Structure 1
């Protein structure tokens, strides 16, 4: 048994591609649909702090996990999380992983999976709204499956946008530029990624060319979201799981395509319309990411 809360090396494009392939295997084989994944549990105290648990168990991967997190307004990190990883065959605790590391790698990998299925094969321009940790994961996820030559970044804090652009320039051949608005960052982009904490819809045009794909990764609920209902109604929506997406982000997701159907081709098609990956998160993908990190392969 290893209790591993140590800092792991930052994950690379190779890590993102490896986890993305593990996700594809789990989705195609039916392993994801066979997982037991209840709705996340949220407890809130009288101070407004939130305490979350996201469990998942998979016989195919031989693992049980439960991402456990706190969300507070205290002086420390806003979100603190860990993921204990257990063997289903022995019940042993294998590792305790840092929740942020799991989430970041998971988000980059699922972005790679969805973008590879939905985005134009020759898409080369990426627009990012946001400049934090998730914005970097979005760059990694899209760059893992497309040859990105230009990245356009908008953030409310220009210095943060410039810092992200510098990191992207240092990582590869893409030219990264800071944009003055969300409209400027997204207009003409082949792939768009939104990774903000905005509770109001971002000013992104609803009149998009049919080849455009959007990864909507910021927190959104039935009351708040990064993308307006008018845009979601005009595109083909992809979600991790329809039941969880409807419960957590609203009925507009009822007619979405889930990841398993997208990857296996068990759907009616992408309808020659823009596509949006409206992500609410799903513990099955955290479990698959943990399988990669602890060295458990799909059985």
Structure 2
């Protein structure tokens, strides 16, 4: 049994390997080659917890993950988790991994993959809203996989520190939205931080926060301006994402192309912009990314 900590995961899951892993995960999910029962969602002491199982012909994974809103005050990442990887043939536990970093890497890689298929690999200005672990890994994966000329960072606090760490410019939210071609929203906000009236006419947005029906990262005007609304899983966002549930119920998505990212990849569909990618995270991503990390660790130790 292998234990893979944060350092191991960063070593094995390079931006290229991580994006490759989530791409395979979305394709397998769309083709029905991976089974993932609906995740069990719990509220413990006012915080969100999720238990996420999935299995393929070659891997069984279970992730326990949570979002502890007060953790930043404690100097801890808001997202905590662990991933257990099993053999479907013998039932053996083959690896335990740092679920916090694995989640950050696979989530950032999904945003970067959505950018590649919707906008391309060359980005003039990338805006990152938020300054936590997800914001850091979004910058890290984007800089390692895409060609990014400039990064802008905005958050309620700590974005100046993050900007120095990733060689970006710390700016206010209005400047970020007005100047960015691609925007990654990585916040714990329950009210919109992506404001359509401030956005360019051509953009791509990836929103990874607001994973409850009553919370939003993207406002209605941004959705009105968009032509394509991409999701990781229609089943998942229809149950969990306010950014999908609310505009869907009000009719804002009626004239949009609403597509799962796996379908776009499998069928080679050209994405019309402006575009939005809404992800709540699915077990398939954890399973395949964990399996990649495990196999790469085996190769490395030989």
* CA-CA distance at 1:133 after TM superposition: 0.8
State the SS of the aligned residue for 2:148.
coil
8 Å CA contact 1:220, 1:226 repeated in 2:
no
* CA-CA distance at 1:52 after TM superposition: 2.1
User: Could you say which residue in structure 2 is the equivalent of 1:107?
Assistant: 107
**In 2, Cα distance between equivalents of 1:197 and 1:27:** 25
* CA-CA distance at 1:58 after TM superposition: 1.1
Deviations 1:99-123 (A, max 9, x none): 1021011112212211110114542
8 Å CA contact 1:65, 1:287 repeated in 2:
yes
**In 2, Cα distance between equivalents of 1:51 and 1:14:** 25
**In 2, Cα distance between equivalents of 1:198 and 1:15:** 29
TM-score (norm 1): 0.83
User: Could you say which residue in structure 2 is the equivalent of 1:172?
Assistant: none
User: Could you say which residue in structure 1 is the equivalent of 2:239?
Assistant: 247
In the TM superposition, what are the counterparts of 1:211-230 in structure 2 within 5 Å?
211-230=202-221
**In 1, Cα distance between equivalents of 2:135 and 2:234:** 25
Distance 1:121 1:211, change over 3 A: farther
Q: Please state if 1:155 is matched with 2:146.
A: no
**In 2, Cα distance between equivalents of 1:89 and 1:39:** 23
**In 2, Cα distance between equivalents of 1:87 and 1:10:** 20
* CA-CA distance at 1:30 after TM superposition: 6.4
Q: Please state if 1:237 is matched with 2:229.
A: yes
Q: Say which is worse superposed, 140-149 or 75-84, in terms of deviation.
A: 75-84
Q: Please state if 1:128 is matched with 2:120.
A: no
Deviations 1:122-145 (A, max 9, x none): 422111111111111211232234
8 Å CA contact 2:65, 2:81 repeated in 1:
yes
More helix per residue: 1 or 2? 2
Aligned length: 282
8 Å CA contact 1:31, 1:58 repeated in 2:
no
8 Å CA contact 2:102, 2:290 repeated in 1:
yes
Q: Please state if 1:94 is matched with 2:94.
A: yes
For the aligned residues, what is the CA RMSD? 2.7
* CA-CA distance at 1:166 after TM superposition: 1.2
* CA-CA distance at 1:87 after TM superposition: 0.8
Q: Say which is worse superposed, 207-216 or 4-13, in terms of deviation.
A: 4-13
* CA-CA distance at 1:7 after TM superposition: 4.3
* CA-CA distance at 1:48 after TM superposition: 3.1
Distance 1:64 1:230, change over 3 A: same
Distance 1:145 1:98, change over 3 A: closer
In the TM superposition, what are the counterparts of 1:1-299 in structure 2 within 5 Å?
1-2=1-2, 4=3, 6-9=5-8, 11=10, 15-28=14-27, 33-45=32-44, 47-59=45-57, 62-72=58-68, 77=76, 78-157=78-157, 160-169=158-167, 176-179=168-171, 181-202=172-193, 204-206=195-197, 208-235=199-226, 236-249=228-241, 250-251=244-245, 252=247, 256-265=258-267, 267=269, 269-271=270-272, 273-295=273-295
State the SS of the aligned residue for 1:148.
strand
Distance 1:257 1:86, change over 3 A: same
**In 2, Cα distance between equivalents of 1:135 and 1:98:** 18
Unaligned runs of 5+ in 1: 170-175
